[in-house]
Structure 1
Amino acid sequence: MNAALAFSLITLFALAVPIGVSLVLASAFGIHFFSTVPLLLVAQRVFTSLDSFPLLAVPLFILSGNLMAAGGISERLVDLAKSMVGGIQGGLACTCVITCMIFASVSGSSVATTFAIGVILIPAMVRHGYPVGTAAAVQASSAELGVLIPPSIPLILYGVATETSIGQLFLAGIGPGLLVAAALFIYLLVLCRIKGYGKEDGLDSQPFFRALRRSFWAILMPFIVLGGIYGGVFTPTEASAVAVVYALVVGMFVYRVLTFRKIHEALRSSAISSTVIMIIIAGAGLFSFLITRSGLPSIVAEWVQEMFTDKWSFLLAVNVFLFMVGMFIETSAAILVLAPLLAPIAIAYGVDPVHFGLIIVVNLALGMITPPVGVNLFAACAVARISLQTIIPPLVPMVLVVMGCVLLVTYVPFISLGLVELFYR
């Protein structure tokens, strides 16, 4: 049945059938023709895959991100970041990194971060003399922080798929997120100095304390959400609901930018995004169940242990494999299908499951900025109104910078586990 599942899934992908639908159809095909299990199992496993309280955080964090973008919060975060680093050469590009890092800490989505921040900063960078391809590449790479800095939707999915503590995964994501942000920050400063970009980035920046006062309620949001999680006030799922209410109240009654029309658009956009992810989760849950039932995980585990004698070579192979997977398969689907398969093998090699979760997510985050399925890449191109060929040349060095961070996260566990050890163990 494994061969039939793989063949049917690849065929459906080749026919451009959506990923979630492909997973369900391939699973139904395998059950009907190569198994004695009744087709009723399809409906049962689809329901079981979605019947999880932690998954409620996914649509709520998506909604909170859309409400933040519509409610003026993202604009104020940009002004604050610009007041901090806009006075240096390349400060506007660095503003993009800092703003994405802050916005990611409450939106949980890299695509939402790309659109919310990109519509403000890409035109601003172009006005200040940055080539449009470079501006879009900076935005696409910076928005990758949306899947690393907690709360992160991919980390939630990994936690659900492998039954790993989402709170510990969130805490573990802070170190890799800061590492990637710092690496991009340094690279952009060097690039701007060499190319001569951004010499007048500080012309329209506000005084720091004025920008801080205007963005106070926006900055307070991550402290409430993350502080509540780690302070034991509420769970990550409850925190997502708090984020929605906070973004709604601040946007409507404090900044007075969020109208009923904008709320309707945010709800509509969130419903579409959430539905896509939930269909993928349902299909991946069914597909993973069949793969597990067929005994493939144990076969793969035995083969891997014969091929790789130590965990370091195994992790290198995992990095290469996940990088290739991330280029072709959407992040959520890749996590839900591969995490239950790879995590037990990693644990057998002595890799901490929380650390391995960050290895998977950081690797697959690269797929968001690499063609042919790089969602951040296409989102940034859409905002900048450029072709893929324009963004690729300036993007390549940034991909290499992030790849270096991937290796550090893989082989220096302290980057991920330092805070986890401090607070949980």
Structure 2
Amino acid sequence: MDLFVLLGTFIAGLVVGIPVAITLALSSLAYVLYAGLPLVVIPQKMFAGMDSFVLLCIPGFILAGNLMNMGGITERIVRLASAMVGWMRGGLGLTNVAASMLFGGISGTAVADAASIGGMMIPGMKKAGYPADFSAAITAASSTVGPIIPPSVPMIIVGALSGISVGQMFMAGAIPGLLMGVAMMVTAWLIARKRNFPRQPWQGFRELLRSFTGAFWAVAMTGLIIGGLLSGLATPTETAIVACIYAFVVGAFVYRDLPIRQVPKIVIDSAVSAAGILVLVGFANVFGWILVAERIPQAIASGVLSITDNRFVVILLINLILLFVGMFMETIAALIILFVPLMTLAQGVGVDPLHFATFAVLNLMIGLTTPPVGVCLFICANIARLPLAPVIRAIAPFIVTNIIVLLLVSYFPPLATWLPSILEN
């Protein structure tokens, strides 16, 4: 009955439309009160969930991304992407994906990508003659590459949950992220050929060199982050702080597009965003602790394994569960609640934890573009000033493409584990 109170309150909150963090708090409170536990257990477990040194990466990378974005990075990245692929059929669509791949190495969040790239690309594509629904759909789909290519906020959360090195998690996402980006570019090109979308003239090697020179310091930030982690000279948290200093210097003194007077506001906005994520982590940890206390992870693992212990089938079931949950729940909350139970299940059939963590994040990134609660879908539809229905229809081919990449990563572990193993040796 205690568990019924927890899950009933949680589902009711989601149905009513209460924010996920508040829903997790209310359902946990209902369980604690009904079970007669002391209320002090809630702040204790919240603090335990947030008391992780590696989670300090989150405000660091958010601040670094915001500083670079306000410092003129988005325009330079879009210009570089346009010079690289804009001359092909449907070039602005390909530019959109390429820009998201480059931007993802800086922001680490899909929502920041969708808002920043979408704010520029969607109006630009519409003006160039692209359908509004396609413009919004490709922006929403490509934004999911950001949290796969390092750095990545969801990967940091997974590292804190599993004990896997954040550096390993970052490297594990590199190849799947590139695969997703290339697959979406191919899909966009095929759609563009079929529907005869416009193309831009080749701008020449001089423009390519100029745009690369202009975006060099922005793109180099990704190299700084990865280099710091792989060299062992800095922890992920220290790397995030170095990235903040780098972003400030480049934005204010190299690009000179970052007004010094705006820095306090950027810091405050970044702190608010990071605080929202950490509060969500805290409430989700309370909820997850209750599930563990009720032995839900063991029940799920034993229940599935009693039906089948076929590794192929179990991986498929895990993917279906995460894809379904991603349609309704925020990524970080879903990770904290479901990661441990499903990792227990995956390890029961011999799945490597690093491999499982990678395709679990991929699943939930796809969920950011699926109705009814696809955050990136809502952002891009709003920018394009469209109802959701046409954007959902337009994004369907990209969702299929991403699911194909997900299945490749799920059933071919070296796509996730090869790069971390090479870099370790």
Same topology, TM > 0.5: yes
Equivalent residue runs for 1:302-321 within 5 Å: 302-321=302-321
- Contact 1:229-1:235 within 8 A present in 2 as well: yes
- Contact 1:76-1:214 within 8 A present in 2 as well: yes
Q: Secondary structure at the match of 2:362?
A: helix
Equivalent residue runs for 1:13-412 within 5 Å: 13-35=14-36, 37-200=37-200, 202=202, 207-412=207-412
Aligned-pair distance for 1:43? Answer: 1.2
Q: Secondary structure at the match of 1:328?
A: coil
* Cα deviation 1:89-140 (Å, max 9, x = unaligned): 2222111111111111121101111111112211221122111111111111
Aligned-pair distance for 1:355? Answer: 0.6
* Cα deviation 1:265-311 (Å, max 9, x = unaligned): 43343233222211210011111111111222222221111122211
Q: Distance in 1 between matches of 2:204 and 2:267?
A: 33
User: In the alignment, residue 419 of structure 1 is paired with which amino acid?
Assistant: L
Q: Distance in 2 between matches of 1:264 and 1:127?
A: 35
- The yes-or-no answer on 1:5 pairing with 2:6 is yes
Q: Distance in 1 between matches of 2:238 and 2:86?
A: 36
Q: Which residue of 1 aligns with 2:421?
A: 421
Distance 1:379 1:201, change over 3 A: farther
* Cα deviation 1:39-73 (Å, max 9, x = unaligned): 11111111111111111111221222222221101
Q: Distance in 1 between matches of 2:240 and 2:367?
A: 26
Q: Distance in 2 between matches of 1:133 and 1:160?
A: 38
Aligned-pair distance for 1:202? Answer: 4.6
* Cα deviation 1:166-195 (Å, max 9, x = unaligned): 111110000110110110011111111111
- Contact 1:229-1:239 within 8 A present in 2 as well: yes
Q: Distance in 2 between matches of 1:402 and 1:262?
A: 38
* Cα deviation 1:9-38 (Å, max 9, x = unaligned): 112222322211221221122122124x32
Distance 1:67 1:327, change over 3 A: same
Q: Secondary structure at the match of 2:351?
A: coil
- Contact 1:86-1:205 within 8 A present in 2 as well: no
* Count of paired positions: 424
Q: Secondary structure at the match of 2:87?
A: coil
Q: Secondary structure at the match of 1:147?
A: coil
Deviates more, 1:384-393 or 1:160-169: 384-393
Distance 1:265 1:140, change over 3 A: farther
User: In the alignment, residue 270 of structure 2 is paired with which amino acid?
Assistant: S
Q: Distance in 1 between matches of 2:424 and 2:24?
A: 36
- Contact 1:21-1:279 within 8 A present in 2 as well: no
Q: Secondary structure at the match of 2:145?
A: helix
Q: Distance in 2 between matches of 1:334 and 1:204?
A: 46
* Cα deviation 1:317-363 (Å, max 9, x = unaligned): 11111111000001110001000111122112110111101111111
Aligned-pair distance for 1:364? Answer: 0.6
Identity %: 36
User: In the alignment, residue 34 of structure 1 is paired with which amino acid?
Assistant: A
User: In the alignment, residue 12 of structure 1 is paired with which amino acid?
Assistant: G
Aligned-pair distance for 1:264? Answer: 3.9
Q: For structure 1, which runs of at least 5 residues remain unmatched after alignment?
A: none
* Cα deviation 1:356-395 (Å, max 9, x = unaligned): 0111111111110011111111111222222212312211
RMSD, matched Cα: 1.7
Distance 1:205 1:264, change over 3 A: farther
Please report the TM-score for the alignment, with normalisation by the length of structure 1: 0.96
Q: Secondary structure at the match of 1:247?
A: helix
Aligned-pair distance for 1:162? Answer: 1.8
- Contact 2:298-2:344 within 8 A present in 1 as well: no
- Contact 1:71-1:251 within 8 A present in 2 as well: yes
